[in-house]
């Protein structure tokens, strides 16, 4: 499916507030709510829209430690490691990387004890470098309209 600038406008509105009514989206982009709904359903069917989510302000709920780990595998058991990472609730992002290390993990724990437990489990697979976040300088969870315009209109 090729999406156009109207679809991108719809995606931008939904990315900023996924509960926006189709009618309200239509008013913003000069379409009927039904036409907006048809476009949204088509993007859902094509897998462009995978889900509707919320962003939780974790800072207002609880404090915790946010950090990053570079994992240096000492084993060829990458499958077991990937299974562990995908089921560990403390790990909130995981990336296979090039350069130094094999994996980059982002984690959030509520205590030193919880961090120590996580680190002990990771030692089964290899060594790590630990980096704790002191202050988040930028969080980019806004919809990047220009990126999609450039990507899809080529």
Model pLDDT for residues 27-63, shown as the tens digit of each residue: 999 999 999 999 999 999 999 999 888 776 655 555 6
> In the chain, what are the domain boundaries?
5-54, 58-132
**Residue 59 confidence (pLDDT):** 57
Q: What fold, for 58-132? A: Alpha-Beta Plaits (3.30.70)
Q: Smallest Cα–Cα separation from 62: which of 27, 111, 23, 95?
A: 111
User: What 3-state DSSP class applies to 22?
Assistant: helix
Whose structure tokens read 């630990």?
Answer: 130
- Is the distance from CB of 107 to CB of 90 less than 8 angstroms? yes
Model pLDDT for residues 114-136, shown as the tens digit of each residue: 999 999 999 999 999 999 998 88
Q: The domain 5-54: what is its CATH number?
A: 1.10.10.10
The answer on pLDDT for 85 being more than 80 is yes
């Amino acid at each position: 499916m090729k999406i156009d600038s109207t679809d991108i406008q719809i995606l931008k509105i939904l990315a900023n507030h996924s509960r926006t009514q189709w009618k309200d989206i239509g008013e913003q982009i000069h379409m009927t709510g039904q036409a907006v709904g048809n476009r949204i359903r088509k993007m859902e069917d094509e897998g462009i829209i995978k889900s509707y989510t919320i962003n939780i302000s974790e800072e207002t709920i609880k404090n915790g430690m946010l950090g990053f780990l570079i994992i240096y595998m000492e084993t060829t058991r990458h499958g077991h490691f990937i299974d562990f990472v995908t089921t560990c609730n403390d790990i909130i992002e995981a990336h296979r990387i090039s350069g130094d290390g094999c994996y980059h993990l982002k984690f959030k724990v509520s205590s030193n004890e919880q961090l120590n437990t996580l680190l002990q489990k990771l030692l089964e697979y290899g060594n790590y470098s630990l980096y704790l976040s002191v202050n988040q300088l930028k969080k980019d969870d806004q919809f990047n309209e220009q990126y999609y315009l450039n990507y899809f209109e080529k």
